[in-house]
Amino acid sequence: MREAGGIGPSAPQWEAFTRISERAHALVERQYTLYNEEIIPAFARARVVIAGHRERSEPQRAWVRDYFVREVAPLLSPIGLDPAHPFPQVMNKALNFIVQLEGKDAFGRPTGVAIVKVPRALPRVIALPQRLAPGRQTFVLLSSVIRAHLGDLFPRRTVTGFSQFRVTRDSDLWVDEREVSNLRQAVKFELAQRHFGNAVRLEILRSCPPQLEALLCSQFALPPETVYRVNGPVNLVRLNQLVDHLTQPRHRFPPLVPAWPKGVGEDSDMFAAIRRGDILLHHPFESFEPVVELLRQAITDPQVVAIRMTLYRTGTGSVLVDLLAEAARRGKEVTVVVELQARFDEEANVNLAERLETVGAQVVYGVVGMKTHAKMLLILRREERRGRVRVVPYVHLGTGNYHPATTKLYTDFGLMTAEPAICEDVEKIFLHLTSLTRVQRLRHLWMAPFTLQRHIIAAIEAEARHVRGGKPGRVVAKVNALTDEATIEALYAASQVGVSIDLIVRGACALRPGVKGLSENIRVRSIVGRFLEHHRIYYFRAGGADKVYLASADWMGRNLLRRIEIAWPLLDPVLKERVIDEGLRPYLYDTADAWILGSDGAYAPPRNPDRGFRAQQTLIEGRSSSGEE
């Protein structure tokens, strides 16, 4: 935004900001139109009601009033603004009310504005008793409860205007890794400031009085372009809580009980199972528990001497962190690479790092200036083979995080292997992360920021050479985002010589498919279904060899050039075919959850949605019919 004295963004920057702001406002407007005109009526048809004050019956109003008095009012501390009561600190994305008052306060002064901060401990969605709404489920929103009783908070005053409001603050952590001597301490200091960073957005009700809007804009130093006037609750995300209250089975997905992989049971010796052959885990259709069990057995196995692991996101109260701590207490050599700057998990990761260090684990924070995003577990075990004792490595690699909760919600692959060449590469990468020595030549793994982008582009260019030589060329990739310019240019060049390219991209995609003379042989689709699509899979036909890689990395510049990432090949032909059959092929034929990206940059449903083929549902049914539960 422009500042006094001509200091501020350049004209192109201001133009870009203006265009982004216009698009963002239109998107938010569309969200609330869908909420009011489609979602709320659809709820009503399903006999699910979100009742505002006007829609509530007298018995319902009485119940809500009692709830307000018992559960809500004791936690509210209205702040009347005057010189002794300045505008309070407002936390990032917290719900608040600003209230215009008429009349005089207890001291005879005409203080006119008050702020009501809403504690995050209060539920945002409240279910009414069934007896008050027979035949349907009725809910009230916390914001509606407070709004209906604002007057009770200001006895002998009259509320003449009000608005909910929410401030979004800059949540980036500014840590100059070149200047700090202790990254963990620097991150802890920045975390303390995060909730009160500079304001960047203000959300208010569309009915907010102009004078209250002006006061908020002045208080948070925000220009009009950053104000979003909404027709509904200021935080629609909190309506996720509604899902937990719905009791009608027809409104919920059938429960999914993840299976254990074929040939591996809950009482299996995990090390013996891995020695028999590589184990592929496909979450959430298959359980993450084998990985937990592998680590659990490593703790109690006297032959296990060392455990090394990367942690990016684990969640609070992670069983994996508990197991690593127990391993350290039992005298195992435990080395953990913790990414302190995993966005919005920084505090949890600082806490787990301190906890692990307390029990004797060696904790490092990766490489300065680069997030460690690779997902690797290495277990070293003494074994006697052919009359000689040696240390044998066992490895787990994943496309997703070591987060037991998200493995039930995200689609990901994990590989458990004792393949010597793969394990040797993983050992080399851990050595690099802990000692900062140059990475030795890797036989199978591709590693960012050193070789991953180069190998991807080389593989794409190899497909183009096959086409020029009269053979078919084929690339299929499944990633969360595609924005890396060099990779996009390689895909365009391959398309122009006839390579057939299919891209399954859940999120941002900077490539335009189907453009005449540029990308006519490229197709892009996104899948939005029950589970969040999180696989990273790279497929290259390779002259009929069918090379398949699983990876932690999306095709983005930050992943390929500014992070520690890995991609690894499927060496077992059976598992390679499984990844194709489960991770790629169904998604290319999905007609129910798919969105097709056009050459104009817009997404649209497939032209034959009536077929109703859902990749995720097919995988659920295939797992159930296999009898592996």
The predicted structure's pLDDT at residue 423 = 98
Q: Mean pLDDT over residues 441-453, rounded?
A: 96
Q: What is the pLDDT of residues 100-120, one digit of tens each?
A: 998 877 666 767 899 999 999
The predicted structure's pLDDT at residue 338 = 86
Percent pLDDT > 90 in the chain is 73
The predicted structure's pLDDT at residue 7 = 53
124 secondary structure, DSSP code: S
Whether the pLDDT of residue 355 is over 70: the answer is: yes
Q: Spelled out in words, what is the top-level CATH class assigned to the domain 270-444?
A: alpha beta
- CA distances in angstroms from 210 to 154, 161, 162, listed in the order given: 22, 10, 10
Amino acid at 296: R
The predicted structure's pLDDT at residue 466 = 98
The predicted structure's pLDDT at residue 344 = 55
Q: Mean pLDDT over residues 438-443, rounded?
A: 90
What SS3 state is found at 392?
A: strand
Across 248-252, 281-285, 349-353, 444-448, least confident range: 349-353
Whether the pLDDT of residue 585 is over 90: the answer is: yes
The predicted structure's pLDDT at residue 173 = 57
Which positions ≥6 away from 361 have C-beta within 8 Å? 324, 325, 327, 328, 334, 335, 336
Amino acid at 52: G
Hey, which CATH number is domain 4-251, 1.10.10.10, 3.30.1840.10, 3.30.413.10, 3.40.50.620? 3.30.1840.10
The separation between CA 531 and the C-alpha centre of its own chain, rounded to angstroms, equals: 12
Q: Mean pLDDT over residues 296-325, rounded?
A: 92
The separation between CA 220 and the C-alpha centre of its own chain, rounded to angstroms, equals: 29
Q: Mean pLDDT over residues 63-83, rounded?
A: 93
d(CA 294, CA 297) in angstroms, rounded, equals 5
Contact 493, 464 (CB under 8 A): yes
The predicted structure's pLDDT at residue 626 = 42
Q: What is the pLDDT of residues 201-211, one digit of tens each?
A: 999 999 999 99
The predicted structure's pLDDT at residue 629 = 38
The predicted structure's pLDDT at residue 12 = 79
Conformation bin of residue 487: beta by default, left when phi > 0, alpha when psi is -120 to 50: alpha
Catalytic residue selected from 373, 396, 403, 535: 373
DSSP string, 301-338: -TTEEEEEEEES---TT-HHHHHHHHHHHTT-EEEEEE
Structural domain boundaries of the chain? Answer: 4-251, 270-444, 447-625
Whether the pLDDT of residue 622 is over 80: the answer is: yes
Whether the pLDDT of residue 88 is over 80: the answer is: yes
In the annotation, is 373 catalytic? yes
Average pLDDT of every residue of the chain: 90
Q: Mean pLDDT over residues 417-429, rounded?
A: 97
- CA distances in angstroms from 557 to 265, 266, 485, listed in the order given: 41, 41, 7
Contact 462, 480 (CB under 8 A): no
Q: How many helices (H) and strands (E) does the chain have?
A: 18, 27
Across 145-154, 188-197, 277-286, 495-504, least confident range: 188-197
Q: Do domains 4-251 and 270-444 have the same CATH topology?
A: no
d(CA 486, CA 481) in angstroms, rounded, equals 14
Whether the pLDDT of residue 588 is over 60: the answer is: yes
Residue 375: phi and psi, rounded to 5, are -115, 105
Q: What is the pLDDT of residues 464-497, one digit of tens each?
A: 999 999 999 999 999 999 999 999 999 999 999 9
Q: Mean pLDDT over residues 274-297, rounded?
A: 97
Residues 121, 124, 125, 127, Cα dihedral to 10°: 40
Across 40-49, 175-184, 393-402, 605-614, least confident range: 175-184
**Which CATH superfamily groups domain 447-625?**
Endonuclease Chain A (3.30.870.10)
The predicted structure's pLDDT at residue 183 = 59
Q: How many CB atoms within 10 Å of residue 156? A: 8
Whether the pLDDT of residue 342 is over 80: the answer is: no
Q: Residue 182's pLDDT band (boundaries 50, 70, 90)?
A: low
Q: Mean pLDDT over residues 169-176, rounded?
A: 67
Percent pLDDT > 70 in the chain is 90
Q: Residue 1's pLDDT band (boundaries 50, 70, 90)?
A: very low
